[in-house]
């Protein structure tokens, strides 16, 4: 996450500098830390729910909801961005990858938010919620790059079939 998009934001787009973005994220982290929930009591079910439903309802430990999907998401985003930078993935295919990941991100964000009370570490709870905002910021940044600045990210000179997407 942020391997290709953040350097473009700072060097080419120049909307914000690194210090301003760091201050924004630190301020957001402080607000999330102050508002982070205290360890909740476990919800009792008559029968054990599945992992997906248990995470959706907030009944799973935070570490088992947050980290597995976050690692898989970052691998997928890094692979798609690297292939797009090398010209091996067309602009439309890059869009498709991000659209396919959108619904799992909604599930993950909701699950992490609901399960953030299932940890004893307040820093972990606020950090997990901050990761949600980081993923949403990354998606917004990629949308900005895709709509307004496709020529600086994609190798538009090398794309033959999808050259119209670079305009």
> For the segment 141-165, what is each residue's pLDDT rounded down to a tens digit?
999 988 888 888 886 665 554 556 6
Q: Hey, CA dihedral for 56, 62, 63, 69, is it positive or negative?
A: positive
The verdict on residue 53 lying in a domain is no
The verdict on residue 52 lying in a domain is no
Match 């054990």 to its residue by tokens: 48
| Domain interval for residue 93 | 5-39+59-166
The verdict on residue 54 lying in a domain is no
> For the segment 80-89, what is each residue's pLDDT rounded down to a tens digit?
999 988 888 8
The verdict on residue 47 lying in a domain is no
The verdict on residue 77 lying in a domain is yes
The verdict on residue 45 lying in a domain is no
Is the whole-model pTM more than 0.75?
Answer: yes
Match 């102050």 to its residue by tokens: 34
The verdict on residue 27 lying in a domain is yes
The verdict on residue 46 lying in a domain is no
Number of domains composing the chain: 1
Closest CA to 42 of 107, 119, 130, 111: 119
Closest CA to 91 of 49, 33, 152: 152
Q: What is the mean pLDDT of residues 64-77?
A: 95
């Amino acid at each position: 996450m942020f391997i290709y998009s953040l350097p473009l934001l700072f060097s080419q787009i120049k909307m914000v500098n690194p210090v301003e973005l760091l201050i924004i994220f630190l301020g957001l982290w402080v607000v999330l830390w102050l508002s982070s929930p205290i360890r909740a009591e476990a919800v009792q079910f008559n029968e054990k729910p599945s992992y997906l439903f248990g995470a959706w309802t907030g009944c799973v430990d935070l570490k088992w909801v947050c980290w597995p999907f976050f690692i898989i998401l970052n691998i997928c985003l890094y692979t798609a961005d690297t292939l797009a930078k090398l010209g091996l993935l067309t602009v439309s295919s890059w869009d498709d990858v991000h659209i396919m990941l959108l619904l799992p991100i909604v599930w993950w964000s909701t699950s992490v938010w609901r399960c953030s009370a299932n940890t004893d570490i307040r820093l972990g709870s606020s950090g997990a919620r901050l990761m949600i905002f980081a993923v949403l910021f990354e998606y917004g940044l990629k949308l900005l790059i895709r709509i307004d600045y496709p020529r600086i990210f994609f190798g538009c000179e090398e794309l033959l079939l999808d050259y119209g997407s670079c305009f």
